[in-house]
Chain A
Amino acid sequence: MKKNTFLQTSSQTVGPFFAYGLTAQQYRYDFPSLFNGNLRKNDIDGKEISIKGRVLDGKGNPLHDAMIEIWQADPQGNYNTDQNSDFLGFGRMGTGSDNFIGFNFLTYKPGKINDSSAPHINLTVFARGMLNHLFTRIYFSDEKNEIDEVFNQVDPLLRPRLIAEKVNEEEYYFDIILQGENETIFFDI
């Protein structure tokens, strides 16, 4: 194993005022946004879905100043990095621009990356009051998740916390619970 020569730069909170920089279009500030909550493109062949949810604190109150980033494979199971997908697969939303205090990503259902994975979406949470961002994953209630190498490492009793509920054919719902009884599973990756 290689030894480190330099030490990681420390994390600090995204704070309450990221909106005009990181999510400017969503919040209607006059600055370009490289990405937003709509990952769909015209030329992608796949099942359109939305993933909606809230970010809740330890008292069950929704955060209106959190930011969510998602990263996923395309409907065929290819990441954009592999350069065999035109689908960027990356989205970003703040939770406070709408009457609904939360996020609502418009995307496609991702395909399986390989035989040891179930379709999933990687997710990162940032917020005022979070000195470090946190990583989790969204799996789908209508998939065989037990084959997945990461899902399998979570205590079976806690696995439901990683699963988005199917509302209807096009809509899934997933709350991120930062603290409390049904706390989301966050990964040390």
Chain B
Amino acid sequence: MQNNPWNKRDWSNHPDLIYPDYKSTILRNPQNPLKKLNNFNEIPGPKFESFSIRTIDSDLTLNAKKDHNPIGERIIVLGQVKDEFGKPVPNCLIEIWQANSAGRYVHREEIHDAPLDPNFLGAGMTLTDDNGNYKFTTIKPGSYPWGNHHNAWRPAHIHFSIFGRSFVDRLVTQMYFEGDPLFKYDPIFNSIPDKKAQNRLIAKFSIDKTVPEFAHAYVFNIVLRGRQATPMEV
């Protein structure tokens, strides 16, 4: 029997399942510990390299444009996806979604009284290149209020959904922006047990990647699980 070769989720860098300050976690997660498995065959994952993703889908300033450019600060978000051993992950599907510059989501159930932008949807997707690099052009999202506690505001963020090389190598996360005053009040951000791990979700402004006369750039690198060359002994 072949053992699963993928490193496990590193729980020192991921939130607890139930984090009571974020109230919705209380009833929506198991109370039993996750079931550990010993030997099991590797679970592969879908391959996305043959998917035809339009170039425009990595440019959120264009992919829903009707007659004007979307309102707000145009930014570039870019980075590299690699695994725990530093190996780049090519053909990795990255999907993002976000609020507009006023802090309003297109989602029909969003009730925050901020304007929609008819030229902005806030969704994008791309595949990483041979070196694991990706790039989106978008509008800097605004902060928005939510009902978790009195005067609760989410720090500005972009949602990321990332597929690695196996079904188990899956990540959904949020990217934040350097210097946001709301970090210390946000239970979702603070659910991450390690301060350094929190810091790694904060995209850093880069003058080198900033494009003159066009847009500021923010760098957000992503680390997925590593795959052991020889399957792990458990």
The 6 closest A-B pairs by CB, nearest first: A21-B97, A129-B24, A81-B44, A129-B28, A188-B34, A21-B123
Chain A residues 173 to 189 lying within 8 A of chain B, measured CB to CB, are: 178-179, 183-189
Taking A4-B84, A129-B27, A131-B16 as contacts, is the C-beta distance between A9 and B171 under 8 angstroms?
A: yes
Q: Is the CB of A6 within 8 A of B84?
A: yes
Q: Is the CB of A129 within 8 A of B232?
A: no
B13 interface hit (Cβ, 8 Å)? yes
**A130→B1 CA distance, assembly (Å):** 33
- The interface stretch among A41-49, A110-118, A163-171 is A110-118
B222 interface hit (Cβ, 8 Å)? yes
Chain B residues 195 to 232 lying within 8 A of chain A, measured CB to CB, are: 196-198, 200-201, 222-226, 228-230, 232
Query: What is the size, in residues, of chain B's interface with A at 8 Å between Cβ atoms?
Result: 94
Q: Is the CB of A79 within 8 A of B198?
A: no
Q: List 26 A-B contacts (CB under 8 A).
A: A2-B228, A4-B226, A6-B82, A6-B85, A8-B14, A9-B171, A9-B173, A9-B201, A11-B173, A12-B15, A17-B109, A19-B108, A20-B122, A30-B64, A31-B121, A57-B28, A59-B27, A71-B46, A71-B167, A124-B167, A129-B23, A131-B19, A132-B9, A132-B14, A188-B8, A189-B40
Q: Is the CB of B44 within 8 A of A188?
A: no
**A167→B30 CA distance, assembly (Å):** 27
Shortest distance in angstroms between A85's beta carbon and chain B's nearest beta carbon?
11
Q: Is the CB of B37 within 8 A of A187?
A: yes
Contact partner, A63, options B28, B44, B124, B192, Cβ 8 Å: B28
Q: Is the CB of B85 within 8 A of A12?
A: no
**A69→B46 CA distance, assembly (Å):** 12
CB-based nearest A residue for B197: A10
Q: Which residues of A contact B143 (CB under 8 A)?
A: none
Interface residues, chain A, with chain B CB atoms under 8 Å away: 1-2, 4-22, 24, 27, 29-32, 34, 57-59, 63, 65, 69, 71, 79-83, 88-90, 113-114, 116-117, 122, 124, 126-135, 149-150, 153-154, 178-179, 183-189
Main secondary structure of the interface of A (DSSP, over half): loop
